[in-house]
Amino acid sequence: MATVTALRLYGREQIQLDRIEPVPCQADEVRLRIAYCGICGSDIHEYLSTPIFAPASGKANPWTKVSLPVVMGHEFSGTIVEVGSKVTDLRAGQEVCVNPSLDDRHYTLPDCSRCSEGKPNICKRWATYGLNAVGGGFADEIVVKHFNCLPLPQGVSLKLGALAEPLAVAWHSIRTSNFKKGQTALVLGAGPIGLAILLLLRTWGAGKVIITEVTEQRSKQAKQFGADMVVNPLEKAKGGDGQEQDPVLEAVHSFSEDGVDVTFDATGLQSTLNTGLAAVRPGGVFFNVAIHEKPLLLNLNDVFILEKKILGGICYTREDFEQVLKAMASGEIPFEDMITAVVPLSDVVSGGFRELMNNKAKHVKILIQPGNGA
Ligand SMILES: [Zn+2]
């Protein structure tokens, strides 16, 4: 069998394209020829910093037994090229996107309490293809469990399919924040997740949506993606009393004295926590969807006196993917505008990772395309 080209993480700031042996396709698995795989902010984080998800050097993931080097990439779509002998719900030639999460089912263990209540994303044995399990999306192919695959509905291309994962993160955040139709939102940061939340809030029938962003390019994107207001939090405004005002709070209070129903923090700074929590109405929700570099200071009197709620959410469940695919199939929202570059796998390091690090504001989502000049 021919070897597989795959991008592997060896440790801090060490990634390279390798030729590796294909893995066998077990009875309950399918083999995909990968079409597209998006680069995620967490891929950059795992590459540049001390890994949060990838196994530490010399250590194996306790559940998947995988150790470095690991194949990266967890936002992918592809075409099924081989079907395990016991798989009945999928067939060769089908186009699918993948929920890359692993849970008890992957280790043939009985469901834990979290998995039983439909929350495998917080299973203590959670892992993910592309960071700490066998195989990832920055490769010619991958073998995954059949129940990780979601067939792409009519009208959803393989390119759009690769966006299902980041959009599922956004969908999960909106869903678990208990956001209701007609409510107002503040989104902190117009990066890929902030913009994905903005796009999907339209699907949810949101009232006003304000988004904050410091770069001009991303502010423009946020406007194009339908934000009612885009505010630069660094542009201090003078209030009526001559005092400097927080421009984000000014904007929020310009249409609602009480504040927004939900703040989504996709930035994760002390300043975004302060502003985001202050912008929430009494009884409203501050929802964290950012990875934090360090602990922050928090005055819990906001939670106590004003009954504001602080929630967070990780990843997604299959339900979130299904809802995102439905939204994509409706064709109402131009999700493809999130794609700012398509780069062949052979150029993943410089054209993908380095490009994203050096020109962050220029990009929402860079898709890597295996099998194209690789
Ligand atoms: Zn579990």
Q: Could you read off the pLDDT of 86-134 as tens digits, one per residue? A: 999 999 999 999 999 999 999 999 999 999 999 999 999 999 999 999 9
Residue indicated by tokens 């080209």: 5
Instruction: Give me the chain's average pLDDT, please.
Output: 94
Question: What pLDDT is recorded for position 171?
Answer: 98
Length of the chain: 374
Neighbours of 286 (CB within 10 A): 27
Q: What is the Cα gyration radius of the chain?
A: 21
Ligand 1 mean position, distance from CA 344 (Å): 36
Q: Do the Cβ atoms of 339 and 367 come closer than 8 Å?
A: yes
Encode pLDDT of 334-353 as tens digits: 999 999 999 999 999 999 99
Checking if the pLDDT of 329 tops 90, the result is yes
- For the record, the structure tokens of 102 come out as 């692993």
What is the Cα–Cα distance from 372 to 170, expressed in whole angstroms?
Answer: 30
Q: Which residues surround ligand 1, an ion (CB under 5 A)?
A: 103-104, 112, 115, 123
Cβ neighbours of residue 189 closer than 8 Å, sequence gap 6 or more: 211, 212, 213, 265, 266, 267, 272, 290
Percent with pLDDT over 90 in the chain: 91
Ligand 1 mean position, distance from CA 318 (Å): 14
Ligand 1 mean position, distance from CA 224 (Å): 40
Ligand 1 mean position, distance from CA 105 (Å): 8
Question: What pLDDT is recorded for position 216?
Answer: 92
Residue range 194-199: average pLDDT?
97
Q: What is the DSSP string of 302-339?
A: HHHHS--EEEE--S--HHHHHHHHHHHHHT-S-GGGGE
Checking if the pLDDT of 238 tops 70, the result is no
What is the Cα–Cα distance from 17 to 139, expressed in whole angstroms?
Answer: 9
Q: Using pLDDT thresholds of 50, 70 and 90, give the confidence band for residue 239.
A: low
Ligand 1 mean position, distance from CA 112 (Å): 4
Q: Using pLDDT thresholds of 50, 70 and 90, give the confidence band for residue 49.
A: confident
Ligand 1 mean position, distance from CA 219 (Å): 40
Q: Using pLDDT thresholds of 50, 70 and 90, give the confidence band for residue 243.
A: confident
Question: What pLDDT is recorded for position 371?
Answer: 83
Question: Which amino acid makes up residue 189?
Answer: G
Checking if the pLDDT of 264 tops 70, the result is yes
Encode pLDDT of 267-306 as tens digits: 999 999 999 999 999 999 999 999 888 999 999 998 999 9
Checking if the pLDDT of 203 tops 90, the result is yes
Ligand 1 mean position, distance from CA 98 (Å): 19
Question: What pLDDT is recorded for position 237?
Answer: 66
Question: What pLDDT is recorded for position 374?
Answer: 39
Distance of CA 284 to the CA centre of its chain: 24
Alpha-carbon separation of residue 101 from 63, 165, 224, 364 (angstroms) = 13, 10, 32, 23
Question: What pLDDT is recorded for position 373?
Answer: 43
Ligand 1 mean position, distance from CA 124 (Å): 6
Ligand 1 mean position, distance from CA 116 (Å): 7
Q: Which of 37, 222, 67, 47 is nearest to 142 (CA)?
A: 37
Question: Which amino acid makes up residue 335?
Answer: F
- For the record, the structure tokens of 332 come out as 């109402």
Alpha-carbon separation of residue 291 from 52, 179, 284, 363 (angstroms) = 10, 21, 22, 19
Ligand 1 mean position, distance from CA 294 (Å): 28
Ligand 1 mean position, distance from CA 113 (Å): 6
Encode pLDDT of 157-170 as tens digits: 999 999 999 999 99
Q: Using pLDDT thresholds of 50, 70 and 90, give the confidence band for residue 194.
A: very high
Domains in the chain: ranges and CATH:
4-155+331-369 (3.90.180.10), 170-312 (3.40.50.720)
Ligand 1 mean position, distance from CA 127 (Å): 11
Ligand 1 mean position, distance from CA 114 (Å): 5
Ligand 1 mean position, distance from CA 289 (Å): 22
The residue among 236 and 234 whose pLDDT is bigger is 234
Burial of 271 (0-12, 13-18, 19+ CB in 10 A): middle
Question: Which amino acid makes up residue 155?
Answer: G
Checking if the pLDDT of 1 tops 70, the result is no
The residue among 111 and 51 whose pLDDT is bigger is 111
The residue among 172 and 256 whose pLDDT is bigger is 172
Neighbours of 41 (CB within 10 A): 16
Residue range 51-68: average pLDDT?
93
Neighbours of 85 (CB within 10 A): 10
